[in-house]
Amino acid sequence: MSTPDKPQFLAIIGGSGLNHLSILEGAYRRFVRTPYGEPSCPMTLGSICGHPMVFLARHGHGHTIMPNEINYRANIWALRKLDVTGIIAVGSVGSIHPVLGPGDLVIPDQLIDYTSGRPGTFFGSEPDIDMHVDFTHPFDVSLRERLSGVADLLGFNLRDGGVYGCTQGPRLETAAEIRRLAGDGADVVGMTAMPEAVLARELGIPYAQLNVVANYAAGIRESAQGIEFSALGPVLEEAMCKVRLMIETLVGCKMPA
């Protein structure tokens, strides 16, 4: 992912449950202007154990931007302008697969796009962008392997691989829609992987998702009669502590004894 003449400079995109990255040292905010309008918020730049990093709150610092109204092109273009060498996108998801429960971590290797109307390409406005981009494997293998290895070192319960079903939002899905997604092969459901992943691919930025299971999807187990929102906060808070530790370990700050 990185080369000797281009040091590692990771970007972390935070979703629900990760609106800021308190482990960044010397953090400061920088607004990056783009041809596609304003990003979700100013970029937060800093370092972790001497390694430069940038954090972007996908929904804005106050978590006010709905998934279907995020300016994905501005976000990804701004990160490219900062010369990041990889993007780890953190987000909460609902579990469709029976072995995944609240608090589990998932690194998906595939996705199905159910969104509509989201500007999803730089083709036609950026030079050297082909009309058709290969998207056979939507997530960067090297980044996924590194994340999986960190989870193993830390002893975290993590599923390496799975299909992310990306829905439009902002409403949650019906039980019938979840049955459809399950029939299509989706293991988790979220609202933000697309077009984020393909835009990063078009600009040649390695991109991987690190998902936290916040709840069972509609109609499944404890969510059979509805989603209990009051239970999501504690689950996400505990899981995001693991995410922060994974990020620190990934850049070599903290290694398990």
* pLDDT of amino acid 255: 55
At 156-189, the pLDDT tens digits run: 989 999 999 999 999 999 999 999 999 999 999 9
| Average pLDDT for 103-116 | 97
Q: Is the pTM of this model over 0.85?
A: yes
Alpha helices in the chain (DSSP H): 72-81, 141-154, 175-184, 196-202, 232-250
The sign one gets for the Cα dihedral 234, 53, 8, 93 is positive
What tokens does 211 get?
């998902």
What tokens does 166 get?
């990306």
- 10-250 is a CATH 3.40.50.1580 domain: yes
At 25-81, the pLDDT tens digits run: 898 999 999 999 999 999 999 998 888 999 999 999 888 999 999 999 999 999 999
* pLDDT of amino acid 23: 79
Closest-CA residue to 193 (of 72, 64, 56, 44) = 72
φ, ψ for residue 180, nearest 5 deg: -65, -45
* pLDDT of amino acid 74: 97
| Average pLDDT for 123-143 | 92
